[in-house]
Amino acid sequence: MPRTVTILGATGSVGTSTLDLIERNRDAYDVLALTANTDADGLAQAAKRVGAKRAVVADERQLETLKANLVGTGIEAAAGEDEVVEAARMGADWTMAAIVGCAGLRPVMAALQGGKTVALANKESLVSAGTIMTQAARASGATLLPVDSEHNAIFQCFDPAQADRVGRIILTASGGPFRTWGREQMASVTPEQAVAHPNWSMGAKISVDSATLMNKGLELIEAFHLFPLEAEAFDVVVHPQSVIHSLVEYVDGSVLAQLGSPDMRIPIAYALGWPERIETPCQRLNLVEIANLSFEAPDTDRFPALALAREALIAGGAKPAILNAANEIAVAAFLDNRIAFLDIATIVRETMDALDPAPPSDLDGVFEVDKAARGEAARIAREYSR
């Protein structure tokens, strides 16, 4: 029996890599729904290639284009944010959550409530609403599989039966395109430079997050919600070659690591096949060619975003949701050429300092915090606007 799958964010970087794996093994999967934000053409093409039952575009203005593209195919077309959530609720055996940002929260929640398997790339939902999401997964019996390469690596090395025998989890960071740059140099960075990641090909938002090291900060918080260790047990090491994707240290001093080419299809395949491994066409590691693996401590003076995220993790409550919302606003303003690269962390810092709401207890509470933080961050961004 083919497994039913749904891909939320099917037109993005992770979504496209997921579709690539599914297309290589069409008989094993029955695609229920694919969703996208605005790209109705790309969505329709993907839906036709994999024979999806339903294609959903979040932007309602794209419904006519989507319908026109799907005439005569038998694929249902729908539009609107609520329809994206409904697609997540269709009950696929396996759902890839690959929407970027807080827009993924409601669809991820809907998928988790279905009690099936959710492969999670949308780290922002764990940053903003980690406790609420993991509680929902426990309540429904859903299986949450990490797709982010670091968390997927940890998942592969972490023995749940020995959870209390794990002393430390070390996330690796490439260091991004400005790893060796001084603050003065970073002051005039352009969006094009920031999205040109040295090792990974990814969507624009996460590429900027990798350049500020906010991505690693978000990943610290993500890891905290996925693995049962104290916040202090999560470390970050800069590893420019992106060969080791993360490490788990046990109490006997043994350290287990997962290695592989920097290709998201490897962690996605692990989540897609889980608990079995499936084949991928990904480049095999040639250790002799790589020759050297190097490691550095992260520099939080040059990359303050990492320290801000750790601060939000330790503070808990509403702080991670504020951090995430402010970062989304600041990254969008930077990509729009309205603020400078270094202003991103400054805006997040000032937003975190300005707001101190009560910890949200449900998703609506998270959205309230998120909205307030977006408003405040947008106001601060206007002050820095050039």
Task: Name the one range near ligand NAD by CB under 6 A: 36-44, 173-181, 187-195, 222-230.
Answer: 36-44
Please name the residue that has the structure tokens 């696929």: 92
Which residue, chain included where needed, has tokens 């409601």?
106
| Nearest distance, CB of residue 201 and Mg ion, angstroms | 13
Taking the least distance from each CB to ligand NAD, the nearer of 128 and 346 is 128
| Cα gap 94→96, rounded to integer Å | 7
Sheet holding 166-173, edge to edge: 234-238, 166-173, 244-250, 255-259
Stretch that binds ligand NAD, among 199-207, 224-232, 319-327, 333-341 (CB under 6 A): 199-207
Cα 156 from chain centroid?
A: 18
Q: Does 194 bind ligand NAD (CB under 6 A)?
A: no
Place of tokens 């049962």: 228
Provide, for the chain, the percentages of residues in helix, strand and coil under a 3-state DSSP scheme, each rounded to the nearest 5.
Answer: 50, 15, 35
Residue 324 contacts which entry, ligand NAD, Mg ion, none (Cβ below 5-8 A, type-dependent): none
Q: Tell me: does residue 39 bind Mg ion (CB under 5 A).
A: no
Which residue, 239 or 350, has its beta carbon nearer to ligand NAD? 239
Given 114, 146, 175, 203, the residue binding ligand NAD (CB under 6 A): 203
Residue closer to ligand NAD (CB basis): 123 or 384: 123
Task: For residue 382, give the nearest of 330, 308, 342, 322 by alpha carbon.
Answer: 330
Using the rule CB under 6 A, is 13 a contact of ligand NAD?
yes
Judged by CB under 6 A, the chain residues 46 through 105 that form the site for ligand NAD are: 58, 84, 98-100, 103
Residues 147-186 that bind Mg ion (CB under 5 A): 148-150
* 361 burial via Cβ count (<10 Å: 0-12, 13-18, 19+): exposed
Instruction: Choose which of 83, 124, 263, 350 interacts with ligand NAD (CB under 6 A).
Output: 124
β-strand pairing of 117-120 with 29-36: unpaired
40 binds, among Mg ion, ligand NAD, none (CB under 5 to 8 A by kind): none
Judging by beta carbons within 10 Å of its beta carbon (0-12, 13-18, 19+), is residue 302 exposed, middle or buried?
A: middle
Would you give the DSSP letter of residue 76? E
Stretch that binds ligand NAD, among 4-12, 278-286, 315-323, 377-385 (CB under 6 A): 4-12
Give the closest residue to 234 by CA, choosing from 243, 244, 215, 247: 247
Residues 205-224 that bind ligand NAD (CB under 6 A): 205-206
**Maximum distance among all Cα pairs of the chain, rounded to whole angstroms:** 62
Of the candidates 11, 31, 12, 13, which has an alpha carbon nearest to the alpha carbon of residue 272?
31
State yes or no: residue 264 binds ligand NAD (CB under 6 A).
yes
Q: Which entry of ligand NAD, Mg ion, none binds 236, CB below 5 to 8 A by partner kind?
A: none
Q: Vertex 161, ends 155 and 165: CA angle to 5°?
A: 85
Hey, what are 328's tokens? Answer: 């989304």
116 binds, among ligand NAD, Mg ion, none (CB under 5 to 8 A by kind): none
Question: Taking CB under 5 A as the criterion, which residues in 192-211 touch Mg ion?
Answer: none
Q: Between 105 and 372, whose beta carbon lies closer to ligand NAD?
A: 105
Which residues bind to ligand NAD, rule: CB under 6 A?
A: 9-15, 36-37, 39, 58, 84, 98-100, 103, 121-124, 148, 200, 202-203, 205-206, 264
